[in-house]
Structure 1
């Protein structure tokens, strides 16, 4: 048989056209995925903010009830430890009746995507470490909890989302 066998497959032009179509689809779809990620981070921080407020309201209300045991911390009138589980373990610290900045994280359900950063004795930053340097403040995508400053100033709750 002298017949040439017919070769099957894609031509170079067909492959280039397919690659160009895939590139166009990627260019169009990528910004939508980036926007979805940003919206998810912003939503996560909003949920943290709401959860922190709810936790503080709950703990504050419980600290005012006589059925929960409390104990003063040294000679400081601003700090109070409370036994919320009734097991004679005073494991929650309140400052002026609200959660201390180091205790707020115990009351929030945080996934592995969140990083906690403390600043001074009053501020706790919980957010996304987008540049992987172990800090969230420089990424400007965080929830800031500031503990109560005095008996008449409740805690502060701020979301910074400009870098999300």
Structure 2
């Protein structure tokens, strides 16, 4: 009589089922797709704001009002299109950022930072954890450009 080598079909099916159960329970701990997507969206928002500021500042410099503040009462408000600028850069307000970047307002949460000087605003996606945000600080004077905060990692989102 010959001795049979190998596994039976039932043994193979049981091993596949056990591996499937392990994969279903362990995979979400190692794959944070939602956090990656939120962090990428914030990085995209930051890049859009930086690019927009670069373009608006160039237009303000061509127009000769890159050194004017929006609250200057001696001259008309420095605007490019519908966007009010502060020293040639986008103001840190929800309305100005939405207009400048042409984004969907309902997808984002804009939270002004209370009593901050210079003016700051925090941006996050709707439904994101509280640590998943970045801060934009508008230009404080004609020699200081705006400051863009760090984008959190996918683990924080």
TM-score (norm 1): 0.64
State the number of aligned residues: 133
TM-score (norm 2): 0.67
RMSD between superposed Cα atoms in Å: 3.4
Would you tell me which structure has more helix in proportion to its own residues?
A: 2
Please name the residue that 1:38 is paired with: 35
Query: In structure 1, the residue corresponding to 2:58 is in which secondary structure?
Result: helix
Is 2:85 the counterpart of 1:94?
yes
Please name the residue that 1:143 is paired with: 134
The CA distance in 2 between the partners of 1:72 and 1:95, in whole Å, is 5
Deviation at 1:81, TM superposition (A): 2.7
Would you tell me which structure has more strand in proportion to its own residues?
A: 1
Please, which runs of 5 or more residues in structure 1 have no aligned partner? 1-16, 85-90, 132-138
> What stretches of structure 1 move > 6 A for 4+ residues in a row?
none
Query: In structure 2, the residue corresponding to 1:65 is in which secondary structure?
Result: helix
Q: Deviations over 1:66-109 (max 9, x none)?
A: 499x99745378x943142xxxxxx3211111111111232232
* Larger CA Rg, structure 1 vs 2: 1
Larger RCO of the pair (alpha carbons < 8 Å, separation 6+): 2
